Amino acid sequence: LCGSTYTYNTEEKQRVVQGIHDYLYQFFGSSIDYEVESMETHLPPSLKNINSTRIKVPENTTAEELEACFTASPNQEYIEIGGHFTGNLCANSVILGTEYLRIYCSAMHGDDILLRFRGKRLDVGGTIFHDSTIVRFLNDWRTNKKKWIPSCFESNDYLIRGSDGEKASVLIEDHYVCFAVWNGNSCEMQNING
């Protein structure tokens, strides 16, 4: 429905959006990828069968309010969070288990997210990390304490894990960390364009 516009009473947003989504799902089924994208003024409703979500978090959003956006589709392939995200997530957040998590927020401490992420690829920009957290994360991976296997990207800086010889590329810049395990002998950046 690219380019379509719907007018409805904002108090009935959840019901209207859910009805449209249910109709589309009945018509197309699971043969297509369903994505949700929100503006910075409102969080999106929680919908079933969503593959990816891009959220611009409004100001003063609580961790519980953000988590509620994912209750109907907790196992997504891609989640992108921006806007006024403070870095606060629920204790066992489904967001930290998504396959590819991308977060771009300024002046946010990302230590907790880096250490708790359970997915395959984490891309965090505009964020502050303590050096000790990055070292701990890399040491945990190197010593095989963390079974995290993200997608890969090109980098001249890499680690080799002693237990199995697995290689991982590391890119650390001011307010940016990217980490990915090599796939065989080659390493290529896998991009998901938003």
The type of residue at 18 is Q
Select from 13, 8, 63 the least CA-distant residue to 38.
13
The pTM of the full predicted model, rounded to 2 decimals, is: 0.68
What pLDDT tens digit does each residue of the chain (194 aa) get? 455 555 555 566 667 666 776 767 777 777 677 777 887 788 888 888 889 999 999 999 999 999 999 999 999 999 999 999 988 999 899 999 998 999 988 778 888 998 888 887 888 888 888 888 888 877 777 776 657 444 444 445 567 777 787 777 777 776 677 777 665 554 443 333 33
Q: How many Cβ atoms sit within 10 Å of the Cβ of residue 182?
A: 17
Instruction: Name the residue ranges covered by the structural domains of the chain.
Output: 10-148
